[in-house]
């Protein structure tokens, strides 16, 4: 049976990738740092889909650990999917945060996906098949003060992914650049950046993680390189590319703030973290039935 590797599978989008790839019959190699979450996932996937899950506890900014993991993946003979998903946000200012924190984000969002893609691409090329998904963000199209390194590193991942798709496409290897918008995951729940509650506003629509992943995998099946899940996010992507940059950057700061509220009017309230989990569960159940 073919194997899929998902980084950052202990929660959110990565966990949904693991579940949906398992439902397609893939054995899994999953990474993260929260062992108990990954063990829970392993049990769930074995019970529901009868697949094998190998757990790797991995800090992706640790260069030695990354090299060891890359060596393991490069010798894997049946890797069908690599999902470079692990990532995180920080709300510090560029000048006030330590430079080592900036280097850490570069390592997790840029070096690790590149290194792992470099490890798996030769075997995929030789086999004439395989999929590499790099999880970026709609924020990569923006410039914001509050998430400077996040936007910068994800923009780098975009450029890398599109170029890699051009190189590997003729060899039968599909590369997807996935750019989700606001998604219900631990990303915002644990973040000191946006402690407020989440709400839909205008084009800012929160999506459940399983829905993002379902759209991503469908898009891979259709052979598309860039995937922006959700109609509202697609419109935001077009706006981000068309609106003059100065105006776009002003709107971005206000727009990101509008998706969160400490005390939102009840009719605008989409979900707090409990409701987020419920939304993800409902989406997962709907997917299981389809
Ligand atoms: N949620 C959103 O609104 C949103 C929007 C656009 C893009 N994204 C992107 O989607 C991807 C997945 O995020 P998510 O929203 O699903 O958040 P999440 O629920 O917090 O999951 C993040 C995953 O990445 C892992 N991770 C984070 N830092 C790591 C590190 N230094 N080394 C190893 N693993 C690390 C975490 O593992 P442990 O916690 O176990 O260490 C976790 O499994 C990220 O790349 C994020 O940038 C998210």
Residue ID of nearest Cα to ligand 1 atom 26: 86
What integer pLDDT is reported at residue 91 of this predicted model?
A: 80
State yes or no: is 150 an active-site residue: yes
What integer pLDDT is reported at residue 120 of this predicted model?
A: 98
Q: Which of 14-23, 144-153, 220-229 has the lowest mean pLDDT?
A: 144-153
Tell me the percentage of the chain whose pLDDT exceeds 70. 83
What integer pLDDT is reported at residue 195 of this predicted model?
A: 45
Q: Is the CB of 107 under 6 A from ligand 1?
A: no
Q: Vertex 135, ends 54 and 112: CA angle to 5°?
A: 65
Residue ID of nearest Cα to ligand 1 atom 45: 87
What integer pLDDT is reported at residue 146 of this predicted model?
A: 79
- Residue 145 CA to ligand 1 centre (angstroms): 21
- Residue 8 CA to ligand 1 centre (angstroms): 6
87-123 pLDDT, tens per residue?
A: 999 887 899 999 999 999 999 999 999 999 999 999 9
Residue 143 has pLDDT above 90, yes or no: no
Q: What is the mean pLDDT of residues 178-196?
A: 75
Q: Is the CB of 84 under 6 A from ligand 1?
A: no
Residue scoring higher pLDDT (283 or 67):
67
Say if pTM beats, i.e. exceeds, 0.85.
yes
Residue 127 has pLDDT above 80, yes or no: yes
What integer pLDDT is reported at residue 37 of this predicted model?
A: 98
Element holding 209 (H helix, E strand): helix 209-221
What integer pLDDT is reported at residue 119 of this predicted model?
A: 98
Sequence-separated (6 or more) residues with CB below 8 Å from residue 120: 5, 73, 74, 76, 79, 82, 130, 132
- Residue 13 CA to ligand 1 centre (angstroms): 7
Going by pLDDT thresholds of 50, 70 and 90, the confidence category of residue 246 is confident
Residue 284 has pLDDT above 80, yes or no: no
Q: What is the mean pLDDT of residues 142-167?
A: 94
Q: Which of 81-85, 124-128, 257-261 has the lowest mean pLDDT?
A: 257-261
Residue 289 has pLDDT above 60, yes or no: no
Q: Is the CB of 250 under 6 A from ligand 1?
A: no
Q: What is the mean pLDDT of residues 154-172?
A: 98
Q: Where do the domains of the chain lie, and which CATH numbers do they carry?
A: 3-289 (3.40.50.720)
Residue 262 has pLDDT above 60, yes or no: no
Residue scoring higher pLDDT (235 or 249):
235
Closest Cα partner for 178 from 17, 4, 11? Answer: 17
266-281 pLDDT, tens per residue?
A: 333 344 445 556 666 6
Q: Which of 37-46, 146-155, 259-268 has the lowest mean pLDDT?
A: 259-268
Going by pLDDT thresholds of 50, 70 and 90, the confidence category of residue 145 is confident
Taking the C-alpha atoms of residue 81 and residue 268, their distance in angstroms, rounded to an integer, is 38
Q: What is the mean pLDDT of residues 140-165?
A: 94
Sequence-separated (6 or more) residues with CB below 8 Å from residue 101: 90, 92, 149
- Residue 86 CA to ligand 1 centre (angstroms): 4
What integer pLDDT is reported at residue 269 of this predicted model?
A: 35
Residue 264 has pLDDT above 70, yes or no: no
Tell me how far CA of residue 151 lies from CA of 109, 115, 148, in angstroms.
Answer: 10, 20, 5
Q: Which of 49, 81, 118, 150 is catalytic?
A: 150
């Amino acid at each position: 049976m073919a194997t899929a590797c998902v980084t950052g599978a202990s929660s959110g989008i990565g966990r949904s990738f693991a579940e949906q790839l398992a439902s397609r019959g893939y054995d899994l190699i999953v990474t993260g740092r929260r062992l108990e979450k990954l063990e829970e996932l392993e049990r769930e996937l074995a019970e529901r889909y009868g697949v094998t899950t190998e757990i790797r506890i991995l800090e992706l900014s640790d260069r030695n650990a990354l090299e060891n993991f890359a060596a393991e993946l490069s010798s894997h003979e049946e890797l069908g999917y690599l999902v470079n998903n692990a990532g995180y946000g920080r709300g510090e200012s560029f000048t006030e945060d330590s430079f080592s924190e900036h280097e850490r984000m570069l390592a997790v969002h840029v070096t690790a996906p590149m290194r792992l893609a470099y490890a798996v691409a030769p075997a995929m090329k030789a086999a004439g098949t395989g999929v590499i998904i790099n999880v970026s963000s709609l924020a990569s199209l923006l410039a914001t003060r509050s998430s400077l390194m996040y936007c910068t590193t994800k923009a780098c991942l975009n450029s890398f992914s599109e170029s890699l798709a051009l190189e590997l496409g003729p060899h039968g290897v599909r590369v997807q650049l996935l750019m989700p918008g606001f998604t219900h995951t631990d990303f915002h729940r644990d973040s000191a950046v946006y402690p407020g509650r989440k709400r839909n506003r205008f084009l800012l629509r929160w999506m459940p993680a399983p829905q993002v992943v379902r759209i991503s995998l469908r898009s891979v099946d259709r052979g598309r390189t860039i995937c922006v899940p959700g109609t509202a996010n697609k419109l935001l992507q077009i706006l981000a590319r068309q609106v003059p940059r100065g105006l776009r950057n002003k709107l971005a700061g206000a727009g990101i703030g509008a998706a969160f509220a400490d005390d939102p009017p009840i009719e605008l309230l989409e979900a707090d973290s409990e409701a987020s989990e419920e939304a993800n569960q409902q989406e997962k159940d709907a997917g299981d039935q389809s």
